[in-house]
Structure 1
Amino acid sequence: MTNPTVAVLGLGTMGAAMARNIAAAGMDVRVWNRSPERAEPLADVATVAGSVREAVTGADVVLTMLYDERATAETMGDARGAFAADAVWLQQATVGIDGADRLGALAEELGLVHVDAPVLGTKKPAEDGALVVLASGPEDAEERLAPVLEAIGSRTMWVGEAGAGQRLKLAANAWVFTVLEGVAESLALTRDLGLDPHLFLEAVQGGALDAPYVQLKGNAMLDGAFDPSFALAGALKDADLILAAAEAAGSDLAILPGVRRHLARAVDAGHGDKDMAATYLPH
């Protein structure tokens, strides 16, 4: 498939950027969002559909980037009977292991080829078309999806049968949250010990203990720059998916329960719509 027609369902921070990059690569794009005002800014590059059924009719690829499994299942269910016979469902939200299994069963009901392909990266990589795609599904879908995945990502890993992508995404997010909380705690400890917390970032900068993410999130915490690249409420949702998967697998995670507690504390304090760096804020 050299020039597929793509329906993008869900136009939050990630979905809108992905739709724009797919259109920029020369593909015909239809967009839909439950809140129509989210779709209007894309009218210059895509066809804004008035309903989810209108968006998916005749589409070769249906890309979903919705908040969670429930929103994804409801949206796809609303389009039942409108999908093209050979359409591929490119499911890119983080929905967890059980969620991926249930959506896979729904895909079979709807007669769709199911590809589970969550992504690594937040707002800026999505805008730059530099996401890392963790794709999983049937081998014959790889070539069909290549133009779409090349438009949204810098790299695609095919990691096995549908659902394997979710497993790898949860492991990767566990690391992201570990780094996030580690930076927040080191900055807080530096502050509480009576020092300027900027000294911590300066001490590790450029050495073996440093990483771009350490400086990025650390400076955001200290500058109060909480415009959401990855909202706290979404991070808490994903932390719950990680812990559920770990419990089912028999993994003994020492750090993530504490990270989850701090994320929940920040959400309860009213910071759920801020970037997850806001976990640093005093509570």
Structure 2
Amino acid sequence: MKLGWIGLGNMGVPMVRNIVGAGIDVVAYNRTQRTLPVEGAQLVTALGDAVRDREVVVLMVSDVAAVRDILFAQGAAAQMAKGALVVNMSTIGVDETLALAQELRSLDLRFVDAPVLGSVKPAENGLLTVVAGGDAEDFDMLKPLFDAVAKAAFHIGPCGKGATMKLLVNAYLGVAVEALGECLTFGAENGLATALMLDVLQNSAVWSPMIAGKRDMLLEQAYDAQFALRHLTKDLGLAVRQASSVGAPMPAVDATLDAFRSAVDAGLGNRDMVAVIEYLKAQVRP
């Protein structure tokens, strides 16, 4: 597989590292020029060099604006070989995904939406989960790529279904994070130590890998971003919009989105998602 990779952020770099380790030929590009600390990957400074003559081109960027900028405004799609497979591993809306698929097909390009579940640590360890939408044949072709970055890869259905599943998971994640913040704030205001609360939660039915992964952050109140709060806020907004379009009620997600937006407005957007607890603490009435 000759792979073009676009997006070398906190997730992109470790993913490329694992893909190179699996023996896949990678040419990588980032819109902001940076050094790529990955032996075996070719880093290029011109977008065309990352997509021209590549069988598969993967995008791992922040949002649909970045995806569209790369593909259309900067002309990546126009420089790809006919029949090339575009794989979007970024998290964008379902409607946005379907529109991209249609536009790329009109250019004789194939498309798979394959967002991933997991943040930086799972990316570093090759333990993400891929949820993909697109043709089954394209999904099968991408198996070496998915095996390199993920512990599991699911073909959810046609284009758009991968995005749907990703938004479902992140909606659940957002509610869980906000609820954890509320409950720890409630406990702290009632005189309970954070370490004790987490010890008890760990021995209850509500414990989860997410809480386990955030334990040290919560104890140290150090929120270096594994999954930035502003990115999860974006995803919650996409989930609420899609829910509205199909008539699915999401009252808890709506309320969570309000809290996350307020936390972003309070300056916490670039910190980890569990930093929402700092916003909640600031709302405690004296």
**Does the TM-score normalized on the shorter chain lie above 0.5?**
yes
Task: Please name the residue that 2:271 is paired with.
Answer: 274
Task: Please name the residue that 1:66 is paired with.
Answer: 61
Instruction: Supply the distance in 1 between the matched residues of 2:240 and 2:224 (Cα, whole angstroms).
Output: 27
1:64 Cα deviation from its structure 2 partner: 0.4
1:162 Cα deviation from its structure 2 partner: 0.7
Task: Please name the residue that 2:106 is paired with.
Answer: 109
Instruction: Supply the distance in 2 between the matched residues of 1:51 and 1:6 (Cα, whole angstroms).
Output: 15
1:156 Cα deviation from its structure 2 partner: 0.6
Could you tell me which amino acid in structure 2 is paired with residue 129 of structure 1?
G
Matched, 1:54 2:55: no
Matched, 1:123 2:157: no
Q: Percent identity over the alignment?
A: 32
3-state SS, counterpart of residue 13 of structure 1: coil
Instruction: Supply the distance in 2 between the matched residues of 1:195 and 1:92 (Cα, whole angstroms).
Output: 41
Q: How does 1:23-62 map to 2 (within 5 A)?
A: 23-37=20-34, 40-42=35-37, 44-62=39-57
Matching residue within 166, 172, 185 for 1:188:
185
Given that residues 184 and 218 in structure 1 are in contact (C-alpha distance below 8 angstroms), is that contact kept between their aligned partners in structure 2?
no
Task: Please name the residue that 1:139 is paired with.
Answer: 136
Could you tell me which amino acid in structure 2 is paired with residue 221 of structure 1?
L
Task: Please name the residue that 2:251 is paired with.
Answer: 254
1:139 Cα deviation from its structure 2 partner: 1.6
Q: What CA deviation, in whole Å up to 9, does each residue of 1:145-191 have, x standing for no partner?
A: 11111111111100110100011111111111121111111100001
Given that residues 17 and 126 in structure 1 are in contact (C-alpha distance below 8 angstroms), is that contact kept between their aligned partners in structure 2?
yes
Could you tell me which amino acid in structure 2 is paired with residue 197 of structure 1?
T
3-state SS, counterpart of residue 35 of structure 1: coil
3-state SS, counterpart of residue 79 of structure 2: coil
Task: Please name the residue that 1:152 is paired with.
Answer: 149
State TM-score, norm by structure 2: 0.93
1:129 Cα deviation from its structure 2 partner: 1.0
Matched, 1:97 2:100: no
Judge which range, 206-215 or 226-235, deviates more. 206-215
Matched, 1:236 2:233: yes
3-state SS, counterpart of residue 129 of structure 1: coil
Q: What is the count of residue pairs matched by the alignment?
A: 278
Over the residues paired in the alignment, what is the CA RMSD in angstroms?
A: 1.4
* Runs of 4 or more above 3 Å deviation: none
Judge which range, 86-95 or 199-208, deviates more. 199-208
Task: Please name the residue that 1:17 is paired with.
Answer: 14
Task: Please name the residue that 1:173 is paired with.
Answer: 170
1:240 Cα deviation from its structure 2 partner: 0.4
Given that residues 233 and 260 in structure 2 are in contact (C-alpha distance below 8 angstroms), is that contact kept between their aligned partners in structure 1?
yes
Instruction: Supply the distance in 1 between the matched residues of 2:144 and 2:119 (Cα, whole angstroms).
Output: 21
3-state SS, counterpart of residue 262 of structure 2: helix
Given that residues 183 and 218 in structure 1 are in contact (C-alpha distance below 8 angstroms), is that contact kept between their aligned partners in structure 2?
no
Task: Please name the residue that 1:206 is paired with.
Answer: 203
